[in-house]
């Protein structure tokens, strides 16, 4: 009987045998955490002005040509608009920076997965935001060892640099990220290796580029130093890092925009007024800006929730003092209170995006 069983098993192996699909590993305790069961994929995180957050697969939106109409990205409540959009991995840490200078932490996979038109879940259900506190910047961190510093900028033109590792363990009720003066708001945060130049762009179309070394590292409660001098009724609308072989993309509230070579922005001193970055049409203002490179995908979201994806290669590369071209065809019957966008670089899941 044993001989018959052996012959039967040999025939089964020859007919159905294939490579082993499981791995046999030594010295493994056998414990499986919840994160081990979560697929590591690229996702799109959106957050509205009223604090509704949701997660979607990046393949939800198809790529369109420049000047397209886009598709409906989410259902928003009356007078609510999408304020933040970013692509990241499900395993990344999300840092939520608020207008009051605090930071909160959340895993990307902890954000509920929602359909394309769903409005999402209130962020206050996931992190302990204080009453009236608004999120002004969201950062995805694959690893707290990837960057040495966090660079922060406020609406009043202040700039600050702090070690990234100081934000690796954030309490459930948040941490102080920056000390703010009365009337000022924290607006932008970026990961830095410490040697990149800093770009600050204003509502009236000015951009100042200065060396990061002019901003010494400070502790979390520090308020920072002056990064750009502002004229009356002007404020900062974007802060980013000047990277080699990259362009500065500027978008106005009326859907116009362009990209300009980084070499056209001279390095000036900190606390200067900078140079012109776009020639604005009458009544128009800069809504957003971003440092981009060839081959990137752009996701635009209008104040009414319309989403459009396009490639950076389809956007004209023009000089600093030009007006730009139409990037998003805004419908006149809808409010055009601004156009927010996120640039996504093609790459491996979990790789840090600038």
**82: confidence class by pLDDT, cuts 50, 70, 90:** confident
Q: What is the pLDDT of residue 66?
A: 58
Q: Which residue has the higher pLDDT, 156 or 35?
A: 156
Q: What is the pLDDT of residue 349?
A: 39
Cα separation of the two ends of the chain: 67
CA distances from 115 to 58, 125, 322 (A): 12, 19, 40
Q: Please state the rounded mean pLDDT for residues 133-161.
A: 88
Q: Find tokens 């707290």 and name the residue.
A: 144
Q: Please state the rounded mean pLDDT for residues 10-15.
A: 92
Q: What is the pLDDT of residue 274?
A: 92
Domains of the chain: 39-344 (2.120.10.90)
- For all residues of the chain together, what is the average pLDDT? 83
Q: Please state the rounded mean pLDDT for residues 46-74.
A: 70
The distance of Cα 195 from the centroid of its chain, to the nearest Å, equals 21
Has residue 318 got a pLDDT over 80? yes
Has residue 337 got a pLDDT over 50? no
**10: confidence class by pLDDT, cuts 50, 70, 90:** very high
Give the span between the Cα atoms of 162 and 153, in whole angstroms: 12
Query: What is the pairing mode between strands 42-48 and 93-98?
Result: unpaired
Q: Please state the rounded mean pLDDT for residues 85-94.
A: 88
Give the span between the Cα atoms of 272 and 291, in whole angstroms: 21
Q: Across 63-72, 213-222, 301-310, which has the greatest mean pLDDT? A: 213-222
**145: confidence class by pLDDT, cuts 50, 70, 90:** confident
Q: Quick one: tokens of 75?
A: 């259902």
* Residue from 350, 208, 201 nearest 290 by CA: 201
Q: Quick one: tokens of 1?
A: 């009987």
Has residue 221 got a pLDDT over 50? yes
CB 204 within 8 A of CB 231: yes
**332: confidence class by pLDDT, cuts 50, 70, 90:** low
Q: Which residue has the higher pLDDT, 72 or 352?
A: 72
Give the span between the Cα atoms of 328 and 251, in whole angstroms: 9
Has residue 259 got a pLDDT over 90? yes
Q: What is the pLDDT of residue 220?
A: 87
226-246 tens-digit pLDDT: 999 998 889 999 999 998 889
Has residue 81 got a pLDDT over 80? no
CB 199 within 8 A of CB 207: yes
Q: What is the pLDDT of residue 159?
A: 96
**136: confidence class by pLDDT, cuts 50, 70, 90:** confident
Has residue 33 got a pLDDT over 60? yes
**12: confidence class by pLDDT, cuts 50, 70, 90:** very high
**327: confidence class by pLDDT, cuts 50, 70, 90:** confident
Q: What is the pLDDT of residue 236?
A: 94
Give the span between the Cα atoms of 313 and 323, in whole angstroms: 18
């Amino acid at each position: 009987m044993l001989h018959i069983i052996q012959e039967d098993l040999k025939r089964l192996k020859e007919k159905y045998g294939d490579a082993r699909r499981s791995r046999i590993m030594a010295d493994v305790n056998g414990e499986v955490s919840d994160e081990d069961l979560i697929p590591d994929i690229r996702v799109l995180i959106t957050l509205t002005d009223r604090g509704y957050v949701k997660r979607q697969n990046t393949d939800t939106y198809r790529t369109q040509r420049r000047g397209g109409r886009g598709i409906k990205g989410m259902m928003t409540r009356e007078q609510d608009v999408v304020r933040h959009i970013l692509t990241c991995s499900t395993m990344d840490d999300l840092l939520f920076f608020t207008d009051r200078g605090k930071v909160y932490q959340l895993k990307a996979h902890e954000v509920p997965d929602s359909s394309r038109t769903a409005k999402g879940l209130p962020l206050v259900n996931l992190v302990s935001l204080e009453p009236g506190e608004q999120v002004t910047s969201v950062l995805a961190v694959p690893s707290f060892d990837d960057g040495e510093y966090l660079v922060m900028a406020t609406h009043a033109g202040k700039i600050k640099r702090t070690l990234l590792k100081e934000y690796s363990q954030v309490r459930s009720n948040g941490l102080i990220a920056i000390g703010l003066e009365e009337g000022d708001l924290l607006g932008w945060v970026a990961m830095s290796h410490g040697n990149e130049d800093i770009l600050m762009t204003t509502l009236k179309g000015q951009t100042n580029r200065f060396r990061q070394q002019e901003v010494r590292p400070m502790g979390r409660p520090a308020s920072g130093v002056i990064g750009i001098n502002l004229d009356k009724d002007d404020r900062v609308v974007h802060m980013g890092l000047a990277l080699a072989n990259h362009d500065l993309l500027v978008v106005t509230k009326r859907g116009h925009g362009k990209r300009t070579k980084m070499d056209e922005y001279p390095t000036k001193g900190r606390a200067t007024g900078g140079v012109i970055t776009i020639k604005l049409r009458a009544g128009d203002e800069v809504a957003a800006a971003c440092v981009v490179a060839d081959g990137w995908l752009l996701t635009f979201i209008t104040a009414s929730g319309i989403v459009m994806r396009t490639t950076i290669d389809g956007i004209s590369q023009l000089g600093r003092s030009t007006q730009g071209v139409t990037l998003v065809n805004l419908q006149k019957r809808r409010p055009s209170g601004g156009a927010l966008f996120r640039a996504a670089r093609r790459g491996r899941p979990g790789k840090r995006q600038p």
